[in-house]
């Protein structure tokens, strides 16, 4: 999974520009000096396999790279393509009235940390009032599934629905990447985010733990979705199209905000609407308290 997620993350930078084809990938791998020889021999080939499998799913291949020894396990890489101007969408053409669409739920950092805390009583005690062990396990599985999903389908649909700009949501969180994207715009616009689709229960964990800043948009994501500026009349159609079974299982999208006149900034409103995204495999009743607005169906 780590290999797959790393590969999906590397390819995302191409997908964020509406590019669906990749010519070549390099894999950068570091094995940890604290691993035993047996661990190295078992774990390293699996990481390489995951990376290669995801590359193959993206219609590309790993042709080289570098392997080093480090204090930590690291996996990453480079994705390269040579293409025509009509094959990519420069991330600089948002206009007033556009709608912001997000293609994966937020909360991967919270889900992965909460899963580690299952074995850390001190940390677990801080959040056990708001979440069950089963909910953490389900959220972790959902986060892994989402992180390992390529943004390739979304990249293709950016052309179909005339996207004006996009970025992938990774280490700076949704707010940081929205701000970076806003700065690149040729028009005098600003982004306002009203809705936060979040893996179920992760918002409550973020609040209870006093960490992450998930509701402030600063929680880091790994291999997150694309945040896309679409013409208003196209956004709902993009969201329903990406869910079509012809693209396989698991693609989702939500309308999360708007583009208004402004000075190239981005902000989240004071009380954003949290859309609780139910993990696949969760029964709706197990996770949803009465009167809560949870939806396994992505809302648009």
Same domain? For 41 and 141 the reply is: no
pLDDT at 291: 43
> In this structure, is residue 298 part of a structural domain?
no
> In this structure, is residue 86 part of a structural domain?
no
What's the whole-model pTM score? 0.93
Same domain? For 198 and 268 the reply is: yes
Which CATH number belongs to the domain containing residue 108 in this structure? 3.90.650.10
> In this structure, is residue 300 part of a structural domain?
no
Provide the number of structural domains found in the chain: 2
- What does the alpha-carbon distance between residue 107 and residue 223 come to, in Å, rounded to a whole number? 11
Predicted confidence (pLDDT) per residue in 181-197, tens digit: 999 999 999 999 999 99
The domain in which residue 185 lies consists of 98-277
Same domain? For 115 and 75 the reply is: no
pLDDT at 280: 86
Same domain? For 199 and 150 the reply is: yes
Same domain? For 132 and 234 the reply is: yes
pLDDT at 299: 42
pLDDT at 249: 83
> In this structure, is residue 285 part of a structural domain?
no
Same domain? For 112 and 56 the reply is: no
Q: Can you give the three-state secondary structure of the chain, one letter per residue?
A: CHHHHHHHHHHHHHHCCCCCCCCEEEEEEEEECCCCHHHHHHHHHHHHHHHHHHHHHCCCCEEEEEEEEECCCEEEEEEECCCCHHHCCCCCCCCCCCEEEECCCECHHHHHHHHHHCCCHHHHHHHCCCCCHHHHHHHHHHHHHHHCCCCHHHHHHHHHCCCCEEEECCCCHHHHHHHHHHHCCCCCEEEEEEEEEEECCHHHHHHHHCCCCCCCCCCCCCCCCEEEEECHHHHHHHHHHHCCHHHCCCCCCEEEEEEEECCCCEEEEEEEEEEEECCCCCCHHHHCCCCCCEECCCCC
Same domain? For 64 and 177 the reply is: no
pLDDT at 283: 61
Which CATH number belongs to the domain containing residue 62 in this structure? 3.30.1330.10
Spans in the chain with pLDDT lower than 70: 283-300
pLDDT at 296: 46
Same domain? For 205 and 162 the reply is: yes
Same domain? For 67 and 172 the reply is: no
């Amino acid at each position: 999974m780590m290999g797959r997620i790393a590969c999906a993350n590397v390819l995302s930078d191409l997908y964020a520009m509406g590019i669906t084809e990749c010519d070549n990938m390099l894999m950068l791998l570091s094995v940890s000096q604290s691993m035993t020889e047996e661990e190295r021999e078992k774990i390293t080939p699996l990481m390489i396999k995951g990376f290669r499998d995801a590359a193959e799913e993206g219609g590309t291949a790993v042709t080289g790279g570098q392997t080093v020894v480090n204090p930590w396990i690291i996996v990453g890489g480079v994705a390269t393509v040579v293409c025509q101007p009509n094959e990519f969408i420069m991330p600089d053409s948002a206009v007033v009235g556009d709608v912001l669409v997000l293609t994966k739920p937020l909360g991967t950092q919270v889900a992965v940390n909460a899963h580690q805390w299952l074995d850390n009583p001190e940390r677990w005690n801080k959040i056990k009032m708001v979440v069950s062990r089963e909910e953490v396990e389900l959220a972790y599985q959902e986060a892994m599934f989402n992180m390992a999903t390529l943004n390739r389908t979304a990249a293709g649909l950016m052309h179909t629905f005339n996207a004006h700009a996009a970025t992938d949501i990774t280490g700076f969180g949704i707010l940081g990447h929205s701000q970076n994207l806003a700065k690149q715009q040729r028009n005098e616009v600003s982004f306002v985010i009203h809705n936060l689709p979040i893996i179920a229960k992760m918002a409550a964990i973020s609040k209870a733990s006093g960490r992450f800043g998930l509701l402030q948009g600063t929680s880091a994501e790994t291999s997150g979705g694309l945040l896309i500026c679409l013409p208003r009349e196209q956004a709902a159609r993009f969201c329903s199209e990406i869910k079509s079974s012809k693209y396989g299982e698991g693609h989702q999208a939500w309308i999360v905000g708007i583009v208004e006149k402004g000075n190239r900034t981005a902000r989240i409103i004071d009380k954003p609407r949290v859309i609780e995204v139910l993990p696949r495999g969760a029964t709706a009743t197990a996770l949803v308290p009465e009167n809560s607005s949870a939806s396994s169906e992505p809302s648009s």
